[in-house]
Amino acid sequence: MTVMESIRPLLAILCPLICALLILLFRKRPNVRESCTIIASIILFSIIISMAPIILKGNVIRYHLITICPGIVFSFKVDAFGLIFAITSSFLWILVSLFSIGYMRSLKEHAQTRYYFMFALAIFSAVSIAMSENLITFYLFFETLTLSTYWLVAHHEDEEAFFGGRKYLTYLLISGWCLFAAVALTYALTGTTDFVAGGILTTDTASKSVLMVLFALFALGSMKAAWMPFHAWLPGAMVAPAPVSGLLHAVAVVKAGVFGFVRIVCYVYGIDLMSALGLGIILAVVASFTMIVASFVAIGQDNLKKRLAYSTISQLSYILLGAALLTSYGVTGAMLHIPFHGFMKITLFLCAGIIIVITGKTEISQMAGIGKVLPITMIAFSIGAIGMCGVPPVSGFISKWYLCLGTLQAGQLVLLAVILTSSVLDVIYFFPIIKTVFFERPAQTNPEQIVRKETDHPLYLFMVIPVAITATFSIIFCIFPNTFYIFDLVKMAVRNLFGGM
């Protein structure tokens, strides 16, 4: 593997940062402000996707920022796994930015400049996390992501929003302290914090008890992955606007959590050490518990965004379970589920936003028959829901298929049963929504309501078109999983970890 020095990683992270400054500069000119966001998101995606052919040739792209002292370095390194997360975040930023124009203007939301500014900082942090070469750089931007998203969660500035924001900040700052302790201990034990395929820790690094405590610190430092029982911040954050919910669940925050956890498992501990310490089994138990319990809780939620929130908690643990299997197919499924879940889940949350804007409805029990009012939206929602259940032809089928193969490869039929049970529970809490919106009649039928309201106002198209695109890509990824080089990048990342698939 050849390490190439290049300025591209720096250009990528500067793109949303410069955008954030331009948003402040043009705060009194909304059209220019939003145009800066759209243009920056397109440029960012173009820079990131341009690195894929280089990575697929067996190279790694690196940019050194600053060395504090030996072993404490701020630098960026783009490898196959990091590029998957970066591609997902940057592409979805384009669509969420378009959606935000329709959503924020339709509801005449206040503090729109702050909203776009913080959103750009969140993407800056997410992309920096994806390209971090070591735990030091990763930690810095992991915390920046927490701070930049607080005001997005508390956007409405009412009592409920500030309560949700405080809970969000409390959980994730405590998590940050644990992560800092884990990074410091790792440096003390090894003299380095670099991410290395196969890990930097060994059985000779420290005693088993110390390595177990260190893993517990890393796990607590990964509360952004919303594993139970440290998940309560996520449903509480649903007070945020719908595009922010999409950011939290699909683009940045929770994806950064599971991305970081997979980094720790595969690039700090390594497959062999995880197996030797029995940590894979422990992580699998936590992930399995979260998958099943969160699904049961989701069934009982009438509020659509809260049901989607508990669905996210469950789905994130599919990624943790895939990593915990410590097999090539399991890790393949985990890595694939990061982008595939991102596209499906952002579809669902943006659909929830459209429903709020056009109909004002937030509870599932209120949504009888709205499939006739919002046909494109609810078809897109159905595609995302079907994908979450692992049903073809939506991309969730591909990632869950590999996860199932991973359980067989590991000889863990119990974990296969967990995945299948969780998928059945997905059907139980998603399909009644589809039934309600398409096949139930409203309590009071008003003929004037049965119109294609999605096209009644130009602003609505800013919301409907991105949702149609994310739903379409959710299907495209199933039929052509190498779209945006995703499957080839996953294969390369797994090959570097296991020496072949």
Q: What is the mean pLDDT of residues 447-452?
A: 47
Say which DSSP state 501 is in: -
Cβ atoms of 434 and 355 closer than 8 Å: no
Q: What type of residue is 207?
A: S
CA dihedral angle for residue 405, residue 411, residue 417, residue 422, rounded to 10 degrees: -50
Q: How many CA atoms lie within 13 A of 168 on its CB side?
A: 29
Lowest mean pLDDT among 24-38, 58-72, 159-173, 330-344: 58-72
User: What is the reported pLDDT for 446?
Assistant: 53
Of all residues in the chain, what percent are helix, strand and coil, respectively (each to 5)? 75, 5, 20
Separation CA 120–CA 131 (nearest Å) = 17
pLDDT at 448 over 50: no
| 501, pLDDT greater than 50 | no
Q: What is the mean pLDDT of the chain?
A: 93
Percentage above 90 pLDDT, the chain: 87
Pair of tokens at residue 264? 């720790």
Q: What is the 3-state secondary structure (H, E, C) of 418-469?
A: HHHHHHHHHHHHHHHHHHHHHHCCCCCCCHHHCCCHHHCCHHHHHHHHHHHH
Cβ distance 430 to 358 under 8 Å? no
In this prediction, residue 2 carries a pLDDT of 86
Confidence of residue 458 (pLDDT cuts 50, 70, 90): confident
C-alpha to C-alpha distance for 34 and 496, rounded to whole angstroms: 41
Burial 288-311 (b: 16+ CB within 10 A, else e): bebbbbbbebbeebeebbbbbbbb
What is d(CA 295, CA 427) in angstroms, rounded to the nearest whole number? 10
> Would you say 35 and 151 are in contact if contact means Cβ atoms under 8 Å apart?
no
Residue showing tokens 């936003």: 353
Contact assessment for residue 361 and residue 438, using Cβ atoms and an 8 Å cutoff = no
> pLDDT tens for residues 390-429?
999 999 999 999 999 999 999 999 999 999 999 999 999 9
Give the tens place of pLDDT for each residue, 255-312.
999 999 999 999 999 999 999 999 999 999 999 999 999 999 999 999 999 999 999 9
Higher-scoring residue by pLDDT: 407, 240? 407
Residue type, 193: T
- Nearest by Cα to 1 from 61, 73, 74: 61
- Contact between residue 252 and residue 149 where contact means Cβ atoms under 8 Å apart: yes
Closest CA to 313 of 327, 301, 330: 301
The C-alpha atoms of residue 442 and residue 87 are separated, in whole angstroms, by: 41
The confidence band for 456, taking pLDDT boundaries of 50, 70 and 90, is confident
Separation of alpha carbons 447 and 451, rounded Å:
8
User: Is the whole-model pTM more than 0.75?
Assistant: yes
Which residues, at least 6 apart from 147, have a Cβ–Cβ distance to it below 8 Å?
A: none
| pLDDT over threshold 90, residue 453 | no
The pLDDT of residue 62 is above 60: yes
What is the band of 444 on the pLDDT scale with cuts at 50, 70, 90?
A: low
Average pLDDT on 337-356 reads 95
If you average pLDDT over residues 109-132, what whole number do you get?
Answer: 95
Look at residue 445 and tell me whether its pLDDT is greater than 80: no
Q: Is the pLDDT of residue 447 over 60?
A: no
Per-residue model confidence (pLDDT) at position 242 = 85
Quick one: 207 exposed, middle or buried, by C-beta within 10 A (0-12, 13-18, 19+)? exposed
DSSP conformational letter for 201:
-
Q: Report pLDDT for 333.
A: 97
- What number is the average pLDDT over the span 463-491? 97
Q: DSSP per residue over 244-277, as a string?
A: HHHIIIIISHHHHHHHHHHHIIIIII-HHHHHHH
Nearest to 73 by CA among 143, 139, 125, 148: 139
Out of 12-21, 136-145, 434-443, 486-495, which region has the weakest mean confidence (pLDDT)?
434-443
CA 423 – CA 396 distance, rounded (Å): 10
Burial 42-58 (b: 16+ CB within 10 A, else e): bbbbebbbebbebbeee
Q: Which of 209, 204, 210, 205 is nearest to 182 (CA)?
A: 210
Q: ∠ CA(156), CA(149), CA(227), 5° rounding? A: 110
